Structure 1
C-alpha cells in the first residue's frame, strides 16, 4: 500500500467529528468476537492500530467504557450526535489507539493482516490464507 499518501482524513457519519491520520497503522486487525460483531452489526470489526500522536481529532467526542472478559479496559470514543464509533483505547496504554478506520475517506488501508477471536467467527465467513489467525486475542 505504498501508493497511499498521508495524511488521510476521516469523519463520523454526521460530519460533526473529523480527524486526520498522519501515518500508516502499525497493524490492521479484524476481530470476530461477539462484542465486535455487535459493534459492527456485521461478521467482524476492522481496527487500525495507530499511535495516538499520529491522529488529530476535531469536534466533540463522547466516551463509553467496558471491561473485557480478559480484564482489559476497553474505552470507546464516539460522536455524541450520530453515535458513530471513532476509536477504542486502553487507558493503561494510551500511546496506541484502535481507530475504526472505515470512517476514513480513503479506506484502502483496510486490509487486515491479523484475524482475532476466530473461535467466535461466523461460520459462513472464510478467512484469507495469507493472514495471521488467532482463536482468541493473540497477536495484538
Structure 2
C-alpha cells in the first residue's frame, strides 16, 4: 500500500490523511469494545500522532479502563463515528479506527487483546499474538 491514504467519518464532516503505516493492528475483545463496535471485537491501528492530519469538528468522551488508565475517544460531532482513541497521559500514540480509511486493505489484526472476554464463537487466526488482558 502507498501512503498517504485518506479517511473520514460516515457523514464526511471529519476527514484525515494518514501519512505512514500503522505500527501494528490489533483486535480488542473486551466487553467495552464489543459495546463500541456492536460486534465481537473492535479493531485499532496503532499510529504515531504525527502520522495523521485531521480536519473537522470532533467531540471527546473518556472513561477509566480496567488497567486504571484513561481511555479517551475522539469522534465526529455530527455522526458520532469514532476516529481514534488515546490515553491522555500518552498523546503521542493513537489508536485509529481503521474502518474509517478509504482503503481498508491494511486491516489484518495480528494482535488480539482481552481474549479472556472474547465471544466463544470467534476463532482467533493461527499465528496471532494473543493476550488474556491488556499487554
2, 20, 24: which one aligns with 1:5? 2
The residue aligned with 1:68 is: 65
Give me the TM-score of the superposition, normalised by structure 2. Answer: 0.99
87, 90, 93: which one aligns with 1:93? 90
Point out where structure 2 has 5 or more consecutive residues left out of the alignment. none
| Counterparts of residues 58-137 of structure 1 (less than 5 Å) | 58-137=55-134
Q: What is the RMSD computed on CA atoms of the aligned residues?
A: 0.5
Q: How many residues align?
A: 135
Point out where structure 1 has 5 or more consecutive residues left out of the alignment. none
Q: Which aligned segments of 4 or more residues in structure 1 are displaced greater than 6 angstroms?
A: none
The residue aligned with 1:14 is: 11
Give me the TM-score of the superposition, normalised by structure 1. Answer: 0.95
Q: 2 CA distance for matches of 1:132 and 1:70?
A: 19
**1:69 Cα deviation from its structure 2 partner:** 1.8
Query: Per-residue CA shift, 1:37-63, capped at 9, x if unaligned?
Result: 000000000000000000000111110
Q: 1 CA distance for matches of 2:80 and 2:110?
A: 28
27, 32, 40: which one aligns with 1:30? 27
